[in-house]
Each structure stands twice: as C-alpha cells, then as structure tokens.
C-alpha cells in the first residue's frame, strides 16, 4: 500500500498506520487542509475550515501517541461536522443568514465524544439552510456541488458532509437526518450513511429542526469506518431529553460474519410506486448479489405507508415551524424564501391533526415491528431517482415529473418510526451518478445492519466502480507536495 495515497485510505487503514507511528496526525491534517484549500472553491463543502484548531489538535494527538496514550481508531483522524452541531468558539451557522455569525460557547455532546476519542475536527460543513430541504442547494453560503458531476446536487440537508467525505476532504462526518438528510447525500455521493435508532446518539448541542424526528449519525466511505464512528457517537446522555438507554456495543464485532440464511424483506407496496428505471435496475442487481451470498428474500406488506408519509410531513412541518417561529417572526427576510414558505405552512396545523398524525406514527411503529419479526432486515432503494441539476425543482428523468421533495419519499418513514436505516452504494447510473440502497432494521439493531451493509460492500468494489470519486495520481502528488 503506497503511503502516497493515504487520503484515499479508510479510517480503519489509516488508524493502524497512526497507531504504529508510521504516519503522523500532523502530516495527515496538513495534507487534508491542502486538499480542502484546493477543492472547496469547486465543491463548496466547507463553511468554516478549522485550520488552527485542527493543527493544534493534531500536534497534541501526535504527542499523546508517541507517549503511548493511543485512544483508539479515531485518534488523529480528520472528521468534519455538519454546521448545525455546536462547537465552542467556532461558528455554527445552520447554513443560514440568521446564524451566520453565531459562535457557541459550548460543545455538542457528539463533539465532546469525538474530542475524547482523539478525533481531529477539521471543519464545519455546508448544509441546506435550517436543515430543511432535500437538495443541498439552498444555503446562505451557496450550493454544495456533487463530486461526481458539479452540475448535480449532493442531496440535503447534510450536503457538505456528503461532498467532503466522497471527495476525500475528510475521513468521516457527523450529519443529521430528519427525513433522510444523512441517507440522501450518502446515496447521491456514493458513500455510507447511517441514521441510527432514535435516541441512540445524543442531539444535545445540535440546532433542532424537528425534535421528534431529528437524528445524528455518521457518514463515511466504508461500512467499517461507519461502525467505528458510531462506537464513539452512541450512548445515553441525560442532557438530551430524547436520549435512549442502550447497551454499549462494538459495532464492528461480527461485521464480517456474512448473511447466509438471513431473511431480507422486500416491500410489496409503496417503495416501488414512484421510481425511475435506473434506480430499479441497480436495486434488482443488488438483490441478485445478496441472493448469491445466501440471503433469502421474503415479500412483505407494509399497509398504510402513504398515511405514514403524510404523518411524517405534517409532524415535520408543525415542529419545524415551532423551532423556527422566533426567526420567522423577527427575521423573515433572512430566511431563504423556499425554506420560509415550507416552515410557515406548519403554522396551519390544528392540534387535533397533530395528535392524529402521532397515532398514525405509533401504528406504523407496531406495523414495522411485526414485519421485522418475519425478516432480519428490510431492503429498499434509498431514493426514487438519480440526482437532479442544481436549482432544478421538477424532475424530468425517465418520464417522472415530480417536485424534488420526492427525494425524501423513501427515507422519511424511518424517521417517523425511529428505526435504524443505512444507505449503501449499490451501483451507478448510466450517466455515472451513484445510486444507493437502504437497509432498515429493528430498533437498536445497528450491528446487524452493518453486517448486511458490509456483505454488500464486499460484492462490489464500488470505489472503483465510482471512479469519478478517486484522484488522479498527479492531483494527489500536487496536494501532497
């Protein structure tokens, strides 16, 4: 393995070299900063580059490791943060004009955990304003561009996270997911995105959009890296009123056990009602690959999914209005028009309607739990279609005419049920854009989801298939000079 290419290495690979003192965190951070400097004008993934802070942290990590105080696989690894996660002394903008100069005086819980694990926080990542959009092209700081085709969206709202991880500007990121905001960019950028079980990861110190649907989770280039990050991020936090007790786990344990004899449920309704032909082709290919690995497929019916989608949309709109009400009243001109119009719509929800949507939510949780008694996981496409152009608002691919909010159609239900879901690259479209598939699991069964995701990852060398994500050697040499 050539040391020249370490920006393309996984966390798992790089951490071993750092542990063995073959590569210094100082070296890695300096090279990462050089790459960010050269790529950010093109992709616009970072809002704030934490240059001084990351260099100091890298030097500290180097000294700790030399002195025998190695903290684990994230020690010395550059990680990015979606810019709704509070960082003491560093701007946290929410992708908005309202918060463009906001500097918190405290760290979010996930930041505290990452720092405790020795991770190097290298910057704050651009995002769809107020985390309220599916495209990632409505930020006060400008649209994020897809590394595979800069004319295309990265998906929202963790848009900068998807682009930065896919383009090797950082090794992983913490994103947020309210209706698919981790999994949409993961699918569009060709990386791994995990929305954990609701309450698995503390949201303390993240600016909220919809408190009963918001999740934080890891975005990485490999499945093992994702599990390594969740090892650090997960855990009960009394500061978060939605935090859930769960056992301490090593999510990498047994990740390579295989899936022979496992049962995968494929929904017979809803998930394929609106889908373009390229997504269906990749999904069918994924099924064949998993069947070759010995998995068994079981058709499952999920009644009432359209009602569940409606419930998700009403709950999101209502709680988003509540979260943004003060800014909508006091600074409406500083809220992007598209975001503002969506948020204001939540003002019209009646209390009786909100209660009715909660009832649908809890029925759907019971329904999914019953379905998951028959199978180990559920497999669906992550998105119904491939990425659209930046600023495009109506899709026109493969005969579909839908508003771009349709991107959240297949991801939103898991936010409402709170069940864990992971997006994994399944292949590429004819025009070279990544297409993901989604595994949905039982509550707190992230370890099992990682086993399925890892098995799929091994069937396709998708970093070669998604070759547009890789550097030419000349570019690497230039960055590493």
Q: Could you give the residue numbers annotated as active site? A: 82, 157, 181
Do the Cβ atoms of 132 and 209 come closer than 8 Å? yes
Q: What three-state secondary structure class fits 206?
A: strand
H-assigned helices in 155-253: 159-166, 183-189, 223-233
Q: How far is CA 401 from the centre of its chain?
A: 26
Q: What is the dihedral of CA 99, 100, 101, 102, to 10 degrees?
A: 30
**How many whole angstroms separate alpha carbon 367 and alpha carbon 265?**
14
- Do residues 43 and 150 make contact, with C-beta atoms less than 8 angstroms apart? yes
Buried b (16+ CB within 10 A) or exposed e, 77-115: bbbbbbbbbbbeebbbbbbbbbbeeeebeebbbbbbbbe
Residue 272 Cα distances to 31, 172, 309, 385, angstroms: 44, 31, 14, 11
DSSP of 450-461: HHHHHHHHHH--
Per the CB < 8 A criterion, the answer to whether 121 and 57 are in contact is: yes
Residue 110 CA to residue 418 CA, distance in Å, equals 19
Give the C-alpha separation, 120 to 50, whole Å: 10
Handedness of CA 182, 183, 185, 191 (dihedral sign): positive
Helix locations, 70-191, DSSP H: 109-116, 159-166, 183-189
CB 27 within 8 A of CB 55: no
Tokens of 191: 């990386």
What's the rounded Cα separation, in Å, for the pair 406 and 276?
A: 12
Segment (H or E) for 237 = none
3-9's contacts with Cβ under 8 Å and 24+ in sequence apart are: 4/473, 4/476, 4/477, 4/480, 5/476, 6/31, 7/31, 7/32, 7/35, 7/168, 7/471, 7/476, 7/479, 7/480, 8/168, 8/470, 8/471, 8/476
Q: Are strands 120-125 and 78-82 parallel, antiparallel or unpaired?
A: parallel
Sequence-ordered strand ranges (E) for 83-230: 120-125, 172-177, 192-195, 215-220
């Amino acid at each position: 393995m050539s040391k020249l290419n370490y920006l393309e290495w996984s966390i798992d690979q790089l951490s071993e070299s750092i542990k063995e003192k073959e590569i210094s965190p100082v070296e890695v951070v300096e090279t990462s900063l050089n790459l960010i400097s050269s790529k950010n004008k093109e992709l616009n993934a970072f809002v704030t580059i934490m240059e001084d802070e990351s260099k100091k942290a890298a030097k500290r990590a180097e000294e700790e490791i030399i002195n025998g105080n190695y903290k684990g696989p994230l020690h010395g690894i550059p990680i990015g943060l979606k810019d709704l996660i509070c960082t003491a002394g560093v701007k946290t903008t929410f992708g908005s004009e309202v918060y463009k100069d906001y500097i918190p005086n405290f760290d979010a819980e996930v930041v505290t955990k990452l720092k405790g694990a020795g991770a190097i926080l290298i910057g704050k990542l651009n995002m769809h304003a107020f985390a309220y959009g599916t495209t990632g092209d409505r930020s006060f700081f400008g649209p994020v561009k897809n590394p595979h085709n800069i004319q295309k969206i990265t998906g929202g709202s963790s848009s900068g996270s998807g682009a930065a991880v896919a383009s090797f500007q950082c090794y992983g990121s913490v994103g947020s997911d309210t209706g698919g905001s981790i999994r949409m960019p993961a699918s569009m950028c060709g990386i791994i995105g995990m929305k954990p079980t609701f309450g698995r990861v503390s949201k303390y110190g993240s600016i909220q959009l919809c408190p009963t649907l918001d999740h934080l989770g890891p975005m990485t280039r490999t499945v093992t890296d994702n599990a390594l990050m969740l090892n650090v991020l997960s855990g009960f936090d009394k500061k978060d009123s939605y935090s859930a007790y769960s056992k301490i786990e090593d999510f990498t344990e047994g990740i390579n056990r295989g899936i022979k004899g496992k049962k995968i449920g494929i929904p017979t309704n809803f998930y394929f009602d609106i889908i373009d032909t390229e997504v269906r082709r990749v999904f069918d290919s994924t099924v064949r690959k998993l069947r070759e690995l010995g998995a068994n497929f079981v058709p499952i019916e999920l009644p009432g999914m359209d009602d569940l989608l409606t419930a998700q949309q009403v709950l999101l709109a209502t709680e988003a209005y509540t979260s943004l009400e003060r800014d909508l009243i006091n600074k409406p001109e500083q809220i992007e028009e598209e975001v503002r119009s969506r948020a204001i719509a939540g003002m019209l929800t009646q209390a009786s309607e909100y209660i009715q949507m909660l009832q649908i939510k809890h029925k759907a949780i019971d329904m999914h739990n019953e379905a998951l008694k028959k199978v180990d996981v559920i497999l669906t496409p992550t998105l119904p279609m491939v990425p659209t152009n930046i600023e495009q608002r109506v899709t026109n691919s493969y005969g579909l005419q839908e508003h771009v909010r349709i991107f959240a159609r297949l991801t939103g239900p898991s936010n409402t049920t709170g069940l864990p879901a992971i997006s994994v690259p399944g292949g590429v479209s004819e025009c070279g854009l990544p297409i993901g598939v989604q595994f949905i699991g039982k509550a707190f069964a992230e370890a099992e989801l990682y086993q399925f995701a890892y098995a799929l990852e091994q069937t396709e060398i998708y970093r070669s298939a998604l070759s547009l994500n890789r550097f030419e050697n000349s570019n690497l040499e230039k960055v590493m000079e």
